[in-house]
A and B are shown apart, each in its own frame.
Chain A
Amino acid sequence: QQPVQSPQAVILREGEDAVINCSSSKALYSVHWYRQKHGEAPVFLMILLKGGEQKGHDKISASFNEKKQQSSLYLTASQLSYSGTYFCGTDSGNTGKLIFGQGTTLQVKP
């Protein structure tokens, strides 16, 4: 079953923060996060494995709550380049295949 992302869309000013959530009805082995610019392919951001770890690079980080079957992506001090659609992808059994959420569109304005 497809994970649910919230919110569906976010509009920010440069420098503001955002949180995107991904919730699954199934137990999760891993969660991936991707960003897609308009007309382009999705680009891998990070992966989180079960164990409740948190990851990040630059001003983008993510957490994974295995018990709640949820992951959150945190974007701090947003830049114009952060604009795009963010997708979470979930793997429920270390199968290697991902089921993606419907996406969250982020628009960062000057």
Chain B
Amino acid sequence: NAGVTQTPKFRVLKTGQSMTLLCAQDMNHEYMYWYRQDPGMGLRLIHYSVGEGTTAKGEVPDGYNVSRLKKQNFLLGLESAAPSQTSVYFCASSDRHSNYGYTFGSGTRLTVV
């Protein structure tokens, strides 16, 4: 099993450019999440989804949009990138109940210049 796969692994954007990060999971998990990780701040929840076709805001949703058209995929979009969005982005998935842990992808390192 591949688990959770994120693409791309690295990306450099110019301020104002847009991009989409793709997360794919093959574990038939209901829940999927996008977090960003910055030094000293832990993992902060951007958006999450509790099932196909649903999305909800997390702690730091501004400047990001998401879509979950298929159960196995969760897309994170940056419409107009800003230097403050320089970060490492992690996607995760979990089963329907919080009795089970998250499986994380390997991360995307994004730099906005």
Which residues of A pack against B, CB within 8 Å? 2, 29-30, 32, 34, 40-47, 49, 87, 89, 91, 94-103
C-alpha spacing A28/B47, complex, angstroms? 21
Q: How far is the CB of B29 from chain A (nearest CB, A)?
A: 10
Binding stretch for chain A, among B64-72, B73-81, B89-97:
B89-97
Do B102 and A44 touch across chains, with their CB atoms under 8 A apart? yes
Interface size on B, residues (CB 8 A): 28
Do B42 and A41 touch across chains, with their CB atoms under 8 A apart? no
Q: How far is the CB of A20 from chain B (nearest CB, A)?
A: 13
C-alpha spacing A87/B101, complex, angstroms? 13
Q: Which of B42, B58, B97, B103 contacts A102 (CB 8 A)?
A: B42
Do B98 and A96 touch across chains, with their CB atoms under 8 A apart? yes
Q: In this complex, what residue of A is CB-closest to B96? A: A96
Q: How far is the CB of A37 from chain B (nearest CB, A)?
A: 12
Which residues of B pack against A, CB within 8 Å? 31, 33, 35, 40-45, 48, 50, 56, 58-59, 90, 94, 96-107
* A97-B45 in contact given A29-B98, A32-B102, A47-B98 (Cβ < 8 Å): yes
Q: In this complex, what residue of A is CB-closest to B33? A: A97
* A99-B101 in contact given A40-B106, A41-B106, A41-B107 (Cβ < 8 Å): no
Selected A-B contacts with CB under 8 Å, 24 pairs: A2-B42, A29-B98, A32-B101, A34-B102, A41-B104, A43-B104, A44-B101, A47-B99, A47-B100, A87-B43, A89-B102, A94-B98, A96-B94, A96-B96, A96-B97, A97-B45, A97-B48, A98-B102, A99-B59, A100-B44, A102-B40, A102-B41, A102-B42, A103-B42
- Name the B residues within 8 Å of A96 (CB-CB): 31, 48, 50, 94, 96-98
* A41-B105 in contact given A87-B43, A97-B48, A102-B40 (Cβ < 8 Å): yes
- Name the A residues within 8 Å of B105 (CB-CB): 41
Do A30 and B104 touch across chains, with their CB atoms under 8 A apart? no
C-alpha spacing A47/B95, complex, angstroms? 13
